[in-house]
Amino acid sequence: MKRKIITSLIIIGIVIVILILLQNTLGNFKLRILNLAGIYVIFAVSMNLINGFTGQLALGHAGFIAVGAYTYTLLVMDSDLKSMNFFLEPIVPFLSSVHWPFLPAVIMGGLLAGLAGLLIGAPVLRLRGDYLAIATLGFGEIIRTVFTNTQSITNGSLGLKAIPMPKSFLFIEMKNAFTWWVWTAVIITVIFHFLLVSSSYGRALKAIREDEKAAEAMGVNIFKHKVWAMVISSFFAGIGGALLASLMTTIDPLMFRFTLTFNILLIVVLGGMGSISGSVISAVVVTILMEWLRFLDQGFMGLPEIPGLRMVVFSTLLLLVVLFYPRGLMGNEELSWNKITKMFQRFHMQPREVRK
Amino acid sequence: MNLLEVKGITMQFGGLKAVANFNLNIDKNEIVGLIGPNGAGKTTCFNVIAGEYVPTQGKVFFEGRDITKSRPDQITKLGIARTFQNIRLFKDLTVLENVLIANHLNLQSNIFSATFRLPWYQKEEKIMYERSLQLLDQLKLTQYKNEKASSLPYGLQRRLEIARALATQPKLLLLDEPAAGMNPQESKELMYLIQELRDKFDLTIFMIEHHMPVIMGVCQRILVLDYGVTIAEGTPKEIQSNERVIAAYLGVEHIA
């Protein structure tokens, strides 16, 4: 137990040092990608809780992200900004004067997303497999459609612009405060999920994934545990959504289509269903690739401009992973020093291990 | 008062009456067997008692409490644990984790005190570990505790399923064909194990079994089901000489 705490403190320390270095060396554009990567880590890890650990194929993530993003935006904007945005139809009076600081607004975004997770999860989590996937996908889209049509609350399809970014981190003004907020949230999210899945409740969630009937026969209240997983997962999705809104500085309902859910699902599957470290690695890699591969879209080696060509790379990647690593990069195991040293040993010592 | 009281259970699936008017009383510390040809409705009976199915008619009482409509996890909490006919372990988890999960139902701490490892959760977790290790020790599974459940040989998987059921601290243990697929030596060991467990854990056992030496050797009382109907009840001796039972198993000679 003590060794674990020490290693996690060391890892957090390393992350902080890397962040300090990156902040001072990276340009604005690259820093933005770093922030986006952090936000995607939050999305992927939280989705992994319900999909990977609990084994429930829930595809409503984009909807919860939208709830978080809109809640945050409406709370954090001051009344001038709001009247500027809502030129077609004025905002409802009780929202026009609210003006919250950054942190409470983000947390509120998470809480409301968690509430949405509860309201949707409670009826829907009685379904299983494909039916659950379809129902949650539908609810995700419903949230988006509702946001499109509530002109006086969300400004509908016009979206909200000029969302302010935080200028200080924990009351200290600094240049890259937002990066610190994002990565603090990342660290908290990752640690929370690590602790949760290694607790007795985490074991119960895994039991539900392995065999629902047996878990129930062992006294696990399946429904309650599923709903908890859903609520926690959507809470963190909402936090991520709030940060995403802040990063993008502009949101509109079209950002939260189900393709967003599938992008996150891609990350989770590549990293390994049921592996937090897998999700973290794959979220960072995929986000960076998404930006780096943009040159493919702009035409290269004499090819004409083909928008969306980089997505072909991801489809190929997904196909290859499903073919050769059906359980993703990490399977359902976590990265540990033991495994890393073992991997190197394997490279050095044996020509090839016979697979059992 | 009987520990388990089943009153006139009928379980109907569409046009099929899987179990018809099934009655059963089990006293504390008894070992009762349930036999019958394939498809006789034995496992359906189990599923009704364990809460998997709500019977079409009839009631189930456990320690005088009506559990007919309770959920499986509620029934397990009250003290009925079960094993499955086709082993249903948590395959990807370790042997120790399998047993730990069965301890989860007694956990008092909520999800947040568990996640943040608050002192009272840590205390409970420690007790859970100790109890699980002790149980693995009693069932001679300690050396496999960090292996994946699916990697165990068949006989040990059966034993792990029993260990997992025991970890829920049951009063009544339902064993669904515990000797299925075992060789004579293994089934003999199982017989001793069942009796030993009954004494050690102060259990009452209700078991389905096809393996006649096991059921005749272990049970004090046997019920015979055929096409959902109870055709006989009695001591092993009585059952062995019961004509209807022999007819059900071997068929009746028709003289044309």
Confidence at A349, pLDDT banded by 50, 70, 90: low
Quick check: A356 pLDDT over 50?
no
Q: Read off the amino acid at residue A178.
A: F
| Mean pLDDT confidence for A37-44 | 97
- Four-way CATH pick for A2-256: 1.10.10, 2.60.40, 1.20.1070, 1.10.3470: 1.10.3470
More confident residue, A137 or A301: A137
pTM of this prediction?
A: 0.91
Q: A216 CA to chain B: closest CA distance, Å?
A: 5
Q: B8-57, pLDDT tens digit by residue?
A: 999 999 989 999 999 999 999 999 999 988 888 999 999 999 999 999 99
Identity of the residue in B76, B104, B128 whose CB atom sits nearest the CB atom of A217: B76
As a three-state string, the secondary structure of chain A is CHHHHHHHHHHHHHHHHHHHHHHHHCCHHHHHHHHHHHHHHHHHHHHHHHHHHCCCCCCCHHHHHHHHHHHHHHHHCCHHHHHHHCCCCCCCHHHHCCCCCHHHHHHHHHHHHHHHHHHHHHHHCCCCHHHHHHHHHHHHHHHHHHHHHCHHHHCHHHCECCCCCCCEECCEECCCHHHHHHHHHHHHHHHHHHHHHHCHHHHHHHHHHHCHHHHHHCCCCHHHHHHHHHHHHHHHHHHHHHHHHHHHCCECHHHHCHHHHHHHHHHHHHHCCCCHHHHHHHHHHHHHHHHHCHHHHCCCCCCCCCCCHHHHHHHHHHHHHHHHCCCCCCCCCCCCHHHHHHHHHHHHCCCCCCCC
- Burial grade of A153 (CB within 10 A; 0-12, 13-18, 19 or more): middle
The set of residues, in sequence order, having a beta carbon less than 8 Å from that of A143 and lying 6+ positions away, is A60, A63, A64, A66, A67, A116, A256
The set of residues, in sequence order, having a beta carbon less than 8 Å from that of B12 and lying 6+ positions away, is B18, B56
* B107 touching A (Cβ < 8 Å): yes
Confidence at A8, pLDDT banded by 50, 70, 90: confident
Contact B90 A211 (CB under 8 A): yes
Confidence at A302, pLDDT banded by 50, 70, 90: confident
> For testing the chain A interface, which of B104, B158, B161 should be mutated: the one with the most A CBs within 10 Å?
B104
| Mean pLDDT confidence for B223-243 | 90
Q: Residue A31 phi/psi, 5° resolution?
A: -65, -35
A40, A264 contact by CB (below 8 A): yes
- Burial grade of B106 (CB within 10 A; 0-12, 13-18, 19 or more): middle
Q: Read off the amino acid at residue A292.
A: W
| Mean pLDDT confidence for A79-97 | 86
DSSP track, B37-82 = STTSSHHHHHHHHTTSS--SEEEEEETTEE-TT--HHHHHHHTEEE
A22, A183 contact by CB (below 8 A): no
Quick check: A353 pLDDT over 60?
no
**Picking from A9-23, B110-124, B163-177, which range would have the lowest pLDDT averaged per residue?**
A9-23
pLDDT at position B197 is 92
Percent of chain A with pLDDT over 90: 60
Confidence at A62, pLDDT banded by 50, 70, 90: very high
The set of residues, in sequence order, having a beta carbon less than 8 Å from that of A40 and lying 6+ positions away, is A240, A264, A267, A283, A284, A286, A287
Q: Read off the amino acid at residue B63.
A: E
Quick check: A304 pLDDT over 90?
no
Tokens of A42: 């939050």
Contact B91 A210 (CB under 8 A): yes
Give the distance, in angstroms, between the CA of residue A341 and the centroid of all CA atoms in the same chain. Answer: 29
Contact B116 A195 (CB under 8 A): yes
The set of residues, in sequence order, having a beta carbon less than 8 Å from that of B150 and lying 6+ positions away, is B89, B91, B92
Q: B81-92, pLDDT tens digit by residue?
A: 999 999 999 999
A residues 227-246 closer than 8 Å to B (CB): 228
Distance, CA of A195 to CA of A189 (rounded, Å): 10
* Chain B residues lying within 8 Å of A218, measured CB to CB: 73, 76, 81, 101-102, 104-105, 164-165, 167-168
Identity of the residue in A195, A203, A211 whose CB atom sits nearest the CB atom of B88: A211
Contact A200 B103 (CB under 8 A): yes
User: Which sequence spans correspond to the domains of chain A?
Assistant: 2-256
Q: B106-132, pLDDT tens digit by residue?
A: 999 999 999 999 999 999 999 999 999
Quick check: A48 pLDDT over 60?
yes
pLDDT at position B256 is 58
3-state secondary structure of B236: helix
* A217 touching B (Cβ < 8 Å): yes
pLDDT at position A299 is 74
Q: Read off the amino acid at residue A183.
A: W
Q: Are strands B204-208 and B31-35 parallel, antiparallel or unpaired?
A: parallel
| A–B interface: beta-carbon pairs under 8 A | 101
Quick check: A38 pLDDT over 90?
yes
**Picking from A93-102, A295-304, A310-319, which range would have the lowest pLDDT averaged per residue?**
A295-304
- Burial grade of A6 (CB within 10 A; 0-12, 13-18, 19 or more): exposed
pLDDT at position A286 is 94
| Mean pLDDT confidence for B163-172 | 95
* Chain A residues lying within 8 Å of B101, measured CB to CB: 203-204, 206-207, 215, 218, 220
Distance, CA of A129 to CA of A146 (rounded, Å): 26
pLDDT, mean over chain B: 92
| Mean pLDDT confidence for B142-164 | 93
Quick check: A343 pLDDT over 80?
no
pLDDT at position A206 is 96
pLDDT at position A347 is 62
Contact A210 B93 (CB under 8 A): yes
Distance, CA of A153 to CA of A176 (rounded, Å): 31
The set of residues, in sequence order, having a beta carbon less than 8 Å from that of A312 and lying 6+ positions away, is A296
Quick check: A166 pLDDT over 90?
no
Quick check: A354 pLDDT over 60?
no
| Mean pLDDT confidence for A215-230 | 95
More confident residue, A353 or B226: B226
Distance, CA of B98 to CA of B148 (rounded, Å): 9
Quick check: A53 pLDDT over 90?
yes
* B111 touching A (Cβ < 8 Å): yes
